[in-house]
Structure 1
Amino acid sequence: MEIRQLESFIVVCKELHFTRAAEKIGIAQPTLSQQIRALEDELDVPLFDRVGKKIILTQAGALLLEYSTQMIHLLENTHNAIGEFRSGQRGTLAVGVLPSDLDYRLPNLLIKFHAEYPNIKLKVVSSIDVLNQVLENEVDFGIDLSSVPDERLVRIPLAKEEYVLVVSKEHAWADRESILMEELRHIQMVAFPVGFTGRDLIDNWCRPYGFTIQAIMETASVTSIVSLVKANIGGTVIPYPLIQIMDEPNIHCIRISDNAPVRHMDIVYRADRYLGRTAQEFIRQTIEYFK
């Protein structure tokens, strides 16, 4: 059993189609089929049920997938550890972050880290599903909202951030310093689409009051949301530290006095993920930065 065979097997499991898997790997389909047959012969069990042109993972195949994935991750960790040792702090770090935080919160952190580690290539991936990026090993770690405990993950708390209502200086509520949560139902909103982390958090906070956000406009960009607020199309609810960093003179923040929504930010990574010295240093700097 060779690593190359296991890597090919994992791709077939993801695609459930030999031709597509072969194209993704970059080999001929007959060569891929031969690799899988060799695995089945060695293990003396079928790994896939072939139903016409479709394939389905067998129970033995599912078991091999579980252990193959662990072995590939362990091998990657080994390469990363030895590579870091040999190269003298060279290499690549991949970090998953929420789009709004990448646009406004993190640039200064990235600049500082690069100044201290100019030989490290830092890949920052914007996503509304940071947790899945971490679990799928697409990134080394993520900066994400807190969620339910998961034994596969390590979480390091970063910050607790309060949401505020943001309106234009021309808005009818621009002279108010605070509102009640219940009053959010009476204001026209611009917001992220349903399914985005920030939107879902606010909607879940509103539900006990018998409503959810009814947006007149939805956009996936926090920059455009703020532009729409400035144009007095509607208000929005976003974290106060984020609006502070934007430093927009033509908007007004209104505190939600009785039960303001909050978000808890964490650094999150897989418990079985190797974190080298540079990754640990980036985490340390991130913790300090959010303080």
Structure 2
Amino acid sequence: MELRHLEYFLMVSKELHFTKAAEKLGISQPTLSHQIKMLEQEVGYPLFNRVGKKIELTKVGEIVQQESLKIQGSIQSMFSQITAMTKVEIGELKIAVLPGEITDLVSTLCIQFNQLYPNIKVFIETTDQVEKAVLENRADFGIGFHLSQYDTLQVTKLYDEEFYFISNKSNSDQKISFSSVFDGPLILFPSMHQCRKILEKTSSEFGKQIEPIVETSSIESILNLVRSGVGSSVVSRTLYEFYDTKDLFFQHIEEPSLTMEVYLMMKKNCFINYAARKYIKLLISELQKLHFHIEKGAITSLQNSLL
């Protein structure tokens, strides 16, 4: 079995279309079909079900896909280790993050990272399937709220994210009940953002319907609208701390409080390349500076693995 056969197979399993896969591989469609047929003969079973112009993986094909991804990851890890041994500050960093607050956190840190390592290219993939992006080697690591159980993933809890109620008016009471959040006009992120999803879920439990006066995916727009008195908002502590909010006021939300756990995900037993190590160290450093409630034991273990 040759590595190129696995490469061809993975492309077809991704595209589920021989012509498109052949174009991306830069070979002819007949050549690709012949190579896949050779792989099927070697395996002893069909890898794809062919229904007209459409194809799908067979059960055997799913097994081959899973194991091929592991082989691909091992090869990438081999080259990453060789590159990292030289400690040359070049290369690329791929990060997978959930849409919303985490994307803003990761993107903001990229400014500092670029200043420290200008020759490392950073690619941020915003996706609802962070774990899948890491498992398929599309990302060196992922950051998100949701924790899914995958035996092949190393998952580290970074910190607890709290969501604040913010306005342009000072209030002597540092806390506000969740039901009181809806007393005035709201400026919120769109429904795809995790903050909005938490609000939607909690409000439905209270029998309340969220009807924001303004929806925008720009945190800077939200802050400016709050400053101008158009309305109040609910944002993560991460965003509140990372942006200039000295002229704004926040209150802790209670009854119930709005919090989510933030996790960092990497493949188990996979070499952490130079760029990823440096970025994760920068992330941990920033979280510590902002005095987030972090999991000290987990963070210490993560830091030791980055040495």
Please provide the CA RMSD for this pair.
2.7
2:261 is aligned with 1:269 = no
Q: Is the 8 A contact 1:49 1:57 kept in 2?
A: yes
What letter matches 2:282 in structure 1?
Q
- SS of the residue corresponding to residue 162 of structure 1 reads strand
2:91 is aligned with 1:91 = yes
What letter matches 2:177 in structure 1?
L
Q: Is the 8 A contact 1:99 1:126 kept in 2?
A: no
**Aligned pair in 2 of structure 1 residues 288, 67: CA closer, same or farther (>3 Å)?**
same
**How many percent identity over aligned positions?**
32
**Aligned with residue 184 of structure 1, among 172, 178, 181:** 181
Point out where structure 1 has 5 or more consecutive residues left out of the alignment. none
- SS of the residue corresponding to residue 36 of structure 2 reads helix
Question: d(CA) in 2 for partners of 1:230 and 1:2?
Answer: 62
- SS of the residue corresponding to residue 215 of structure 1 reads coil
**Aligned with residue 253 of structure 1, among 250, 255, 278:** 250
Q: Name the TM-score, length of structure 1 as normaliser.
A: 0.84
- Structure-to-structure mapping, 1:1-291, within 5 angstroms: 1-86=1-86, 88-97=88-97, 99-103=100-104, 107=108, 109-110=109-110, 112-114=112-114, 117=117, 119=119, 121-125=120-124, 127-129=126-128, 130-169=130-169, 175=171, 177=173, 178-291=175-288
Question: d(CA) in 2 for partners of 1:20 and 1:277?
Answer: 34
Q: Structure 1 stretches (4+) deviating beyond 6 angstroms?
A: none
Q: Is the 8 A contact 2:92 2:275 kept in 1?
A: no
Deviation, 1:140, is 0.4
Question: d(CA) in 1 for partners of 2:234 and 2:136?
Answer: 31
Q: Is the 8 A contact 2:104 2:239 kept in 1?
A: no
What letter matches 2:7 in structure 1?
E
Deviation, 1:126, is 5.2
**Aligned pair in 2 of structure 1 residues 26, 232: CA closer, same or farther (>3 Å)?**
farther
Point out where structure 2 has 5 or more consecutive residues left out of the alignment. 289-307
Deviation, 1:203, is 2.3
1:101-133 deviations in whole A, cap 9, x for unaligned?
5546764x44554555455x1414152534443
